Amino acid sequence: MVNLKELSKALELSQTTVSRALNGYPEVSAKTRDRVVEMARQLGYEPNLQARRLATGRSMAIGHVIPRSVHDMMNPIFLEFIAGAGQTYATHGYDMIISVVEDNNEEDAFREIASRKKADGVILQGPRINDRRHDLLDQLGLPFVVHGRITGAEERTSWIDVNNRRAFERATNLLIDLGHKRIALINGLETMDFAVRRRTGYETALQAHGLEPDQKLMSSADMTEPYGAETAIRLLKSQEPPTAFLVSSMISAIGVARGISLCGLRIGKDVSVITHDDALSFLPNSGEVPIFTCTRSSVRYAGIRAAEMIIQKVNEEGDEHAYEHLEAELILGQSTGPAP
Amino acid sequence: MVNLKELSKALELSQTTVSRALNGYPEVSAKTRDRVVEMARQLGYEPNLQARRLATGRSMAIGHVIPRSVHDMMNPIFLEFIAGAGQTYATHGYDMIISVVEDNNEEDAFREIASRKKADGVILQGPRINDRRHDLLDQLGLPFVVHGRITGAEERTSWIDVNNRRAFERATNLLIDLGHKRIALINGLETMDFAVRRRTGYETALQAHGLEPDQKLMSSADMTEPYGAETAIRLLKSQEPPTAFLVSSMISAIGVARGISLCGLRIGKDVSVITHDDALSFLPNSGEVPIFTCTRSSVRYAGIRAAEMIIQKVNEEGDEHAYEHLEAELILGQSTGPAP
DNA sequence: TTGAAAGCGTTACCAG
DNA sequence: CTGGTAACGCTTTCAA
């Protein structure tokens, strides 16, 4: 394990020059640089990260703080996002450090990242309604990118988000076009920013077609499989059952499908279903004709882009914020058909 | 942001003494220690991690390297494991660094962790048949704990694993006791160590009851939902359909259930299903009578224990290996009944 | 284009 | 019990 000192001794050059040659500084002659690079390769020199970090004051890492409650319910989505982000970090020489913390410790986690310089920047996960975390991060001087959006702080933060409102509006429109009038919304927890946007899109479409949103057809909870099944059954057995369901996640949609078939109904015939699909690898909804008609947006891609954004942000002094608004695709599958 | 120098100046003590007081060395007088601690609190002193890492040569981080292919199919399980591990790391002052790498880059990832001291130890994820990664890690001198087991290297590695063979043997026994004779195995990819163990348990139970394992009833693939559904349908429509399914993951089991109902059969009546349940938070299978009869083992708990093991390993010079063998619970749900 | 030397903020050895 | 001082391995300023 050679270090810079030994390497420079072997080359009969100063540490300074060797360091400069290796880090691509312009003022070293091409000849010396080649010699240095070659020798470094031969001796298997790898700069010590801790030393570099100490010297530069940069940790070359990005932090992801995941509150337990959020993690619990969005687990698969997170990992997919993280996988995308991790890929990008790797190619840029950044490490990814992940902290899964109890909900009430999230602030401390951020403070520690900032004060002990564990990371040069962070990704803000799972923005909530009235989220104040961006204030804390600004105050800590910790650069960040929001995965999702904080309503009301769009101009004061960098973020990447799916156009959830529009996706759900389009999905609702499709159902209405198919003749559905009673459309249920099986939404995620509406303490989450994205869930509210989705409901807005749904309500907007209904109202644009003269349909009055019916509270009895809307529900909001953690997006588990049983939640989908139970809600579907409850609604299908009610006085005025819906003929279609708009669901916030594949997991719950699978539950909804189960509920529908438990009620002796056929999905795509008696009852239509559209779900949002995050394109998770273990829940493929592809093929010629996907099982579920869906609004699809790759959360892995979002991770890739979020990572690129935070890296850029960390490296630039510029104070401007960057946004990226992704449009979901509306993909026709087997789970929708004309209203009976 | 005070540093040690300023803190010691404020106290009119040497850096040495202050450092010792803060790090709990015994040779500091109680009085001085109190004074130091108090002043540190007042000034909000927090030791710089990078400096400490450089000085001690320890990175105070544990690495998790996740090959893409493995990630893709086991995504939810990984994050649950990681959540457990992360919790433990946090309480012990360790960081968790995650690398999601292309399959053919896994070796490089380990080498880099070792040579650049990115982490003091790693968790080896998703052991495969004829896995050689432990050799590499030994050679790199990087302490590690296997999540799962490497058949043939049990004595030469530290590991934590569920007793998969036994779990599947018991599950098969239960089905046999219920009168089932044609039991299908919907297994994970049998390039994975755990999948082979599961099949062994299944075959052992069959043979112990004089039933000949039938290759036509066994399948092995990535554990997606459609895989479960398609395989179930194919088998149920075959010449000699099974009356029961033993499934390797909740996700595929949900697919199996869908397949069964698409065939017009009732789960728990016409066809029985037992699945392995990793106790993922977004796929709850609990309640009074769980939907699926299952062999259950918390993968989050495995993460917690694995983290404890690697931390201990990193901190001790001892060369002995540690093992932990978890027994899965066999839990009766609604998806099993007597053979028709 | 190159080099000497001063940091970066700790920990750890050796004296006293 | 306390302090001086030398690492730790790199980057960066200042001079040449």
Report field, pTM of the whole predicted structure over 0.85: yes
State the average pLDDT over residues B197-218: 97
Facing residue for A46 by CB, picked from B68, B76, B115: B115
Residue type, A307: A
> B129 near B196, Cβ under 8 Å?
yes
CA–CA gap between residue A170 and residue A27 (Å, rounded): 57
In tens, the pLDDT along B297-337 reads: 999 999 999 999 999 999 876 668 899 999 999 999 999 99
Task: Select, from the ranges A279-293, B21-35, B150-164, the one with the highest average predicted confidence (pLDDT).
Answer: B150-164
State the average pLDDT over residues B235-239: 97
Pair of tokens at residue A80: 């997919």
What pLDDT is attached to residue B74?
Answer: 67
Q: Do domains A61-162+300-326 and A164-298 have the same CATH topology?
A: yes
Pair of tokens at residue B297: 């083992």
Interface residue of B280, B282, B286, B298 to substitute, partner A, most A CBs within 10 Å: B282
Residue contacts between A and B (CB atoms, under 8 Å): 156
For strand D, give the nucleotides within 7 A of a protein CB.
Answer: 1-13
Give residue B210's pLDDT band: very low, low, confident or very high (50, 70, 90): very high
Q: Which CATH class is domain A4-47?
A: mainly alpha
In tens, the pLDDT along A282-339 reads: 888 887 789 999 999 999 999 999 999 999 999 876 668 899 999 999 999 999 999 9
What's the gap in Å between the CA of A167 and the closest CA on chain B? 24
What are residue A323's phi and psi, to 5 degrees?
Answer: -130, 155
Classify domain B164-298 at the CATH topology level: Rossmann fold (3.40.50)
State the average pLDDT over residues A196-222: 97
> B145 near B159, Cβ under 8 Å?
yes
% of chain B surpassing 70 pLDDT: 97
In tens, the pLDDT along B253-300 reads: 999 998 998 899 999 999 999 999 999 888 888 777 899 999 999 999
What's the gap in Å between the CA of B141 and the closest CA on chain A? 13
Give residue B16's pLDDT band: very low, low, confident or very high (50, 70, 90): confident
Residue carrying the six token digits 């179930």: B232
Task: Give the CATH number of domain B61-162+300-326; options: 3.40.50.300, 2.60.40.1180, 3.40.50.2300, 3.40.50.150.
Answer: 3.40.50.2300
| Closest C1' nucleotide to A15's CA | C3
Inspect the interface and report whether the beta carbons of B71 and A83 lie closer than 8 Å. Answer: yes
Inspect the interface and report whether the beta carbons of B86 and A100 lie closer than 8 Å. Answer: yes
What pLDDT is attached to residue B124?
Answer: 94
Average pLDDT of chain A to the nearest whole number = 91
More confident position, A7 or A72: A7
**Bridge partners, residue A218, by sequence:** A185
Inspect the interface and report whether the beta carbons of B282 and A97 lie closer than 8 Å. Answer: no
For strand C, give the nucleotides within 7 A of a protein CB.
Answer: 1-5, 7-13
Residue carrying the six token digits 């698969």: A76
Nearest to B61, CA basis, from B108, B24, B113: B113
Give residue B163's pLDDT band: very low, low, confident or very high (50, 70, 90): very high
Facing residue for A282 by CB, picked from B48, B251, B284: B251
For B274-309, give one letter per residue: b (16+ CB within 10 A) or e.
Answer: bbbbbbbbbbbbeeeebbbbbbbbbbbebbbbbbbb
In this predicted structure, the answer to whether residue B28 has a pLDDT above a threshold of 90 is: no
Nearest to B276, CA basis, from B196, B192, B162, B183: B162
What's the gap in Å between the CA of A240 and the closest CA on chain B? 26
A29 touches strand D (CB under 7 A): no
Average pLDDT of chain B to the nearest whole number = 91
What's the gap in Å between the CA of B243 and the closest CA on chain A? 20
Length B6 CA → C10 C1' (Å):
13
What pLDDT is attached to residue B237?
Answer: 97
In this predicted structure, the answer to whether residue A132 has a pLDDT above a threshold of 70 is: yes
Q: Which residues in window 25-84 of B are less than 7 A from strand C by Cβ? A: 45-48, 51-52, 54-56
State the average pLDDT over residues A123-133: 92
- State the DSSP H helix or E strand holding residue A293, giving kind and residue range, or none if neither: strand A293-296
Inspect the interface and report whether the beta carbons of B251 and A283 lie closer than 8 Å. Answer: yes
What pLDDT is attached to residue A73?
Answer: 66
State the average pLDDT over residues A142-167: 95
In this predicted structure, the answer to whether residue B48 has a pLDDT above a threshold of 80 is: yes
What pLDDT is attached to residue A12?
Answer: 87
What pLDDT is attached to residue A31?
Answer: 85
What pLDDT is attached to residue A175?
Answer: 97
Q: So where are chain B's domains?
A: 4-47, 61-162+300-326, 164-298
Quote the strand ranges of B163-290, DSSP E.
183-187, 218-220, 244-247, 272-277
Pair of tokens at residue B218: 């066994």
Burial of B264: CB neighbours in 10 Å, binned 0-12, 13-18, 19+: exposed
